[in-house]
Chain A
Amino acid sequence: MEFQEALRRSSGYPLKALGITTLQVNLGYRCNLSCKHCHVEAGPSREESMSPATAESILSVLTKTNISVLDITGGSPELNPSFRSLVVGARESGCQVMVRTNLTVFFEPDMGDLPDFYRDHRVEIIASLPYFREENVDRVRGNGVFRKSIEALRRLNRLGYGTAGADLRLNLIYNPQGIYLPPPQSALERDYKKELGERFGIFFNRLFTLTNMPVGRFRDFLARTHNLPRYMEMLKGSFNPDTLGSLMCRHLVSVGWDGTLYDCDFNQVMGLPLLSKYPRTVDDFDPEVLSRREIFSGEHCYGCTAGQGST
C-alpha cells in the first residue's frame, strides 16, 4: 500500500503541519566519521557546507518569528565554520539550541573546547550512541568510536551534563545496528543507564530510539544485500497511525546546507523540497504559510510511522 493510501485509511491525508516550534538546520555533510547507517552519507571528503550568509539568514528567521528551538545537525555540524556564531546568535535571540553531535568530534583538531562551549551556552546535546557495547558501536561507526564516545560523555558529565534537574541536558540516540526495528524506548533506556552507569560511571537524561530510514547508506546496504523489499514490507506492516500526531515534520521546517527548505532531513537527502506552492529557501521564510503547509510524503515516510515511531 502506498503511504498516502495508509494516511487516507487513517484519516491522516493530506498530512499537514501543525505549527513550527523548531527550525532544523543541516550545516553540511562533512563529518569525521562515515557511519554505515548514515542517511546523509556524511564523511570526511564531503564538501557540502552551509555558507556564512545562509547561517545569517537562519538567525534572521529566528529573530523575526516565534520559533523557540533551533535543532542543528549535519554531518558533524561542529565542523562548519559558522557553527559557533549560529549557536551564539540563536541563544541571544532567546532560542533553545540542540545539537546532534557524534561526540568523537571533540577529539578533532581545534575542537577540544566544544564541551565547555556547549556548557557556556546551555546547549542541549543529542548524542549518537547506537548501543552500550563497544563491538556493536564500532562495527557501525568505525574502530575506536565507542571508546572516544565514552570519554566524551565523561567530559560532559564532569561539566554537569546529564544530571537530573539540571538545565544541561544530555540525551542519547539509539538506532538498530541492522535490519530490524528499534526496541521499546523505556526498556532500552533502563539498560543503557544500568550498563553505562555500572561500567563507566556515565549518566544522561533520556534515550531516544530511532528507526533506520531506508535512505542513504542504509538503503544502499539494503539494496546490496537484497533486503530492501523485505525491509519496506516490515516498515509497512508496522505502520502505526498513532504516530501521526507527533511526526517531526508536522512541527518543524528543515533547512538544507544550501538554504533550501524541506519538510524533514530525510526529504532533504532525497532531494524532495517543499511542495512547489510554498517558499523555496530560507530567505523566503514565511511562518504563516509554512505552519499550515501540506507535507510532501513518500514511501520512506513509513520509517517514521513504524511501531512506536521515530522522531
Chain B
Amino acid sequence: MTDYYDDGDLDRFAEVGTYRPDLFRKFMEWYSASLSEGALSKREKVLIGLAVAHVLQCPYCIDAYTKSCLEEGLNLDHITEAVHVASAVRGGASLIHTIQAHNAVERLSL
C-alpha cells in the first residue's frame, strides 16, 4: 500500500471528468469560484484549505495547499498555526463528546 498515493496522480485530476464531464465541470466552476478572492482574501482561503486538508488528511490536498500558502508569501509559522487551529477544533470536537458519555453514564446508572 506504500504506492497507494502517487503525487503524480494529482496532475491527473482532470481524468475524473472522463465520465459525466458535466458534473466535473460544475465541480471545477464551483471550486474555482470558492477559491477566488471575495470577502475573504486569497491568503485566508488557502489557509482554510490547508486546515481542512489536514483534518481530512488528504495527501494531495496537503501538498497542493502547502504550495498555495508559499505562493501567497506565507511561511512555516502561518502553516503550523493553521494546522494547530484545525487540530484543536478537531480535538475539541472529540472532547466535547465527553458530555455525551457523561449523559450515557447518567442514563445507565441507578
Using CB atoms and an 8 Å cutoff, list the residues of chain A in contact with chain B.
131, 133, 136, 176, 178-184, 187-188, 191, 230, 233
List B contacts of A178 (CB < 8 A): 70
B24-76 CB contacts (< 8 Å) to partner A: 42-43, 67, 70-73, 75
Distance in angstroms from A209 CB to nearest chain B CB is 9
Verify B71–A183 contact, CB threshold 8 A: yes
Q: A234 CA to B5 CA in the complex, in Å?
A: 21
CA–CA, A181 and B72, complex, Å: 9
Q: Quick check: B75 and A176 within 8 Å, CB to CB?
A: no
Contacts of A230 in B (CB 8 A): 11
Bound CA–CA A233/B72 (angstroms) = 20
Q: CB within 8 A of B73: which of A179, A191, A233?
A: A191
In the complex, the answer to whether B71 meets A182 with C-beta atoms within 8 Å is: yes
Whether A180 contacts B70 by the Cβ 8 Å rule is yes
A230 to B63, CA, bound (A): 14
B-side contacts of A181, CB under 8 Å: 71
Task: Using CB atoms and an 8 Å cutoff, list the residues of chain B in contact with chain A.
Answer: 11, 42-43, 67, 70-73, 75
- CB contacts (< 8 Å) of A136 on chain B: these are 75
Whether A133 and B71, one on each chain, are in contact in the complex, defined by CB atoms closer than 8 angstroms, is: no
**In this complex, what residue of B is CB-closest to A191?**
B73
Q: How far is the CA of A181 from the CA of B43 in the complex (A)?
A: 14
B75 and A183 form a contact (CB under 8 A) = no
B75 and A180 form a contact (CB under 8 A): no
Out of B67, B70, B73, B75, name the residue touching A187 (CB < 8 Å).
B73
Tally of A-B Cβ pairs under 8 angstroms:
26
18 more contacts with CB within 8 A, not counting A183-B73, A233-B11, are A131-B75, A136-B75, A176-B70, A178-B70, A179-B67, A180-B67, A180-B70, A181-B71, A182-B71, A183-B70, A183-B71, A183-B72, A184-B72, A187-B72, A187-B73, A188-B73, A191-B73, A230-B11
CB distance B71 to A187 under 8 Å? no
Q: Quick check: A180 and B71 within 8 Å, CB to CB?
A: yes
> What is the chain A residue whose CB lies nearest that of B70?
A180
Q: Could you jot down 26 A-B contacts, CB within 8 Å? A: A131-B75, A133-B75, A136-B75, A176-B70, A176-B71, A178-B70, A179-B67, A180-B67, A180-B70, A180-B71, A181-B71, A182-B71, A183-B70, A183-B71, A183-B72, A183-B73, A184-B42, A184-B72, A184-B73, A187-B43, A187-B72, A187-B73, A188-B73, A191-B73, A230-B11, A233-B11
Chain B residues with CB under 8 Å of A183's CB are 70-73
A20 and B42 CA atoms in complex are apart in Å by 37
Measured CA separation A131–B67 after assembly (Å): 16
Whose C-beta in chain B lies nearest to the C-beta of A233?
B11
CA distance A254 to B65 in the complex (A): 38
B9 CB to nearest chain A CB (Å): 13
CA distance A178 to B63 in the complex (A): 14
Residues on the A chain within 8 Å of B42, using CB: 184
Residues of A contacting B73 in the complex (Cβ-Cβ under 8 angstroms)? 183-184, 187-188, 191
Q: Find the residue from B42, B72, B73 having the highest chain A CB count within 10 A.
A: B73
Q: Please give me the residue from chain B that is nearest to A187 by CB atom.
A: B73
Task: Give the top 5 A-B pairs by smallest Cβ distance, nearest first.
Answer: A183-B73, A188-B73, A180-B70, A180-B71, A180-B67
* Residues from chain A with Cβ under 8 Å of B11 in the complex: 230, 233
User: For A184, what are the chain B residues with a Cβ–Cβ distance below 8 Å?
Assistant: 42, 72-73
Cα(A179)–Cα(B42), bound, Å: 20
Q: Which residue of A lies closest to B7 (CB)?
A: A230
- Residue of A with least CB distance to B76: A135
Give the interface centre of A131, A182, A183 by most chain B CB atoms within 10 Å. A183
Among residues of B, the one whose C-beta sits closest to the C-beta of A190 is B73
User: Complex: how many Å from CA A191 to CA B78?
Assistant: 13
Please, how many angstroms separate the alpha-carbon atoms of A188 and B70 in the complex?
A: 11
Residues of A within 8 A of B70 (CB): 176, 178, 180, 183
Residue of A nearest to B74 (CB): A183
Contacts of B71 in A (CB 8 A): 176, 180-183
